[in-house]
Structure 1
Amino acid sequence: MQLYEGMWEVTKTISRQNHDLEPSMCRFMHGHRKLTPNMKRVLEANDRCGIRPSKNIRMLEVEVGGPENLSCLAKDYRNFIENERRLQLCDGDIGAISKLFMTMQQKDHNFLYLMQLDSDNRLCNVLWVHPCGRAAYQEFHDVVSFDTTYLVNRYRMPFATIMGLNHHGQSILLGCVLISHEDADTFKWLFSTWIEAIGGGGAFILMPS
């Protein structure tokens, strides 16, 4: 490289590999890491039996003959266990949430909420929109900001706010949501459900990195 008028210019590249390739190391690459359905069942069952994550993972390592034979890293298994724990709400929690929102809806019929459950009848996602938010969206829907940087509840489910901007550049709340996962399927459900909830219409959605 050489400096040219205050900027660096690349003058030469060397494309050859500077170290030997090791196929066994590919399991450290994100694209090659995955949990099989059987691993998920074992991890979830052991966790519900009270087995600590470290011992839970160790049992899998012994079963396949060592950590080098696993298709994931230890942190991937820990993340899976943590995500599953998020969804294990206590008895009556879903009923309590439903009762709260039903009460709010009785006070104002324009209050809207939707809940998504998984195949095991566990709470996955909750979306609620106040009538003020629905009305504001009709006026200020050109740009919408979606932020999932909050972890404020005891289940560690990301709390997301859906915000708009009024004509004075001030933020206005359009909706709120609790989500179990930050993945494509969850966001697809969220955005399609929210657009339906506020009465349709297009929006340019911004998501913070």
Structure 2
Amino acid sequence: MTTYHCPQDGTRSPISALTWCCPVCRGPWDLDFRAAPGLTPHVLPGRANSLWRYEEILPLAAPEVSLGEGRTPLVPLTDTVSAKLDYLMPTLSFKDRGAVMLAELARRLAPDRVVADSSGNAGTSIAAYCARAALPCTVYVPEGTSPKKTEQIRAHGAVLVAVPGGREATALAARAAADEPGVFYASHVFNPYFLHGTKT
């Protein structure tokens, strides 16, 4: 299986260890991953109409938690500028591209629970994909988070924890929970699987 490595000090960790950051410097992980050859524009037309049509460049393939993410329209605005309409994703955000990768990885690792922190969109997305994967999920949010976002998170079955203070206090509370045994931290900042999803 692919492994995590720290770009700052070279520390490595198996992904199965559920370590959410480098234990030496507490920085975010990078991923030892090389894209498989073979992805060319000529092979794309016959592929599934989803994010997974790019499987050669993704560190996980053959997902079980997909909600039909990806392949949103690209609409020309001018001769040189186009808009990618990712508000048409399952939870109305581009963050579904990364959340599906995190939920699929968590499903394969089978943690006791998944923890995330967010001010809205990422939490909604992680909650939705964890529900699809039948994983218990807790989402930490700042206490002033929009009620519409907190309703969405709860609607997907996640436990919602409102943290006094701002975004940084929320992240610290989630990271403390992520340090507990058996917890997968679905971090859209610290986990490189999220970034590999959003690159699509």
Give the TM-score band, short-chain normalised: under 0.3
Whose strand fraction is larger, Structure 1's or Structure 2's? Answer: 1
Whose helix fraction is larger, Structure 1's or Structure 2's? Answer: 1
TM-score between both structures, scaled by the size of structure 2: 0.24
| Highest RCO, 1 vs 2 (Cα 8 Å, sep ≥ 6) | 2
Q: Whose Rg is larger?
A: 1
TM-score between both structures, scaled by the size of structure 1: 0.24
